[in-house]
A and B are shown apart, each in its own frame.
Chain A
């Protein structure tokens, strides 16, 4: 059917996706460990001291990747939620459900490491400026998506309600991203932009990008591990999750 000869649509069913996810987890986890290890090494031992902020700037190696992941995971969650609403696909709702806790964790970490960076550089743990406030709202949105799901007993209604909530909230992501440009904020502007390139030393940028890739691989691994739990908990029919070769529907036809 497809150009690659692999029937990708096969994996849109939980039965086929479950073993695939199981095979992907160790590879993503290994990649995350290696990439984060190299990123930390470059970040702490190769990247030079910042001439303005001294060593405090090294918080960037967890702060920026965590903040990027918090926004990126929200968009991915909203896309799965939208697919679930549009196609009425169980797997899409399960993916949205599995992403939310990890996204919330990265949002919390972005705020916490931001406070740790704000105190020595601005003299304040927290200020109510546009960037910080919109990121805090993102944390509440993740909490809302998760609470809405747990507060509705009927699974299908819970799926739809939290999906609508997630989709509406996606407007906040560009607000967070462009907040440093739209408003006069204390938060510094983007260090990396697609148009102007980077304003950082090459080794600093390398470490930050490696940490981002590492966080990304970590997120894929934990999301897949969680979605496997969610699948069995929700379906309560684990017969298909047994380690048996899946009959290929395309071949059987």
Chain B
């Protein structure tokens, strides 16, 4: 492990902006896709009440 402190970890050797934008954009897209599918499924179930 090469991180002395949390600040050092977040700074990413000066590349923090690029690294954390990449990872958070990926996480946001995935969470958004899962939530969108959740809503779509809820809509399907509301329309067809006997869907499992």
Size of the B side of the interface (Cβ < 8 Å), in residues, is: 27
Known: A58-B12, A238-B50, A238-B51. A109 touches B21 (CB 8 A): no
A14 to B3, CA, bound (A): 51
Q: B7 within 8 Å of A by Cβ?
A: no
Flag if A120 contacts B2 (CB, 8 Å).
no
Q: A229 within 8 Å of B by Cβ?
A: yes
Flag if A241 contacts B19 (CB, 8 Å).
no
- CB neighbors of A among B1-45 (8 A): 1-3, 9, 12-15, 18-19, 21-23, 25-26, 29-30, 33-34, 37, 40-41, 44
A48 to B3, CA, bound (A): 11
Flag if B41 contacts A62 (CB, 8 Å).
no
Q: For residue A139, give the distance in angstroms from its CB to the closest CB of chain B.
A: 13
The chain B residue with its CB closest to the CB of A62 is: B26
Q: For residue A130, give the distance in angstroms from its CB to the closest CB of chain B.
A: 22
Residues of B close to A239: CB separation below 8 A: 50
Flag if A117 contacts B22 (CB, 8 Å).
yes
Interface of B, secondary structure class, is helix
Q: A128-141 CB contact bits vs B (8 Å, 1 = yes)?
A: 00000000000000
Residues of A close to B29: CB separation below 8 A: 105, 108-109
Known: A54-B13, A120-B18. A218 touches B26 (CB 8 A): no
A177 to B40, CA, bound (A): 34
Flag if B26 contacts A241 (CB, 8 Å).
no
Which of A146-154, A187-195, A220-228 forms part of the interface with chain B?
A220-228
Flag if A229 contacts B37 (CB, 8 Å).
yes
Residues of B close to A102: CB separation below 8 A: 33
Residues of A close to B9: CB separation below 8 A: 44
Interface residues of B (CB under 8 A from A): 1-3, 9, 12-15, 18-19, 21-23, 25-26, 29-30, 33-34, 37, 40-41, 44, 48, 50-52
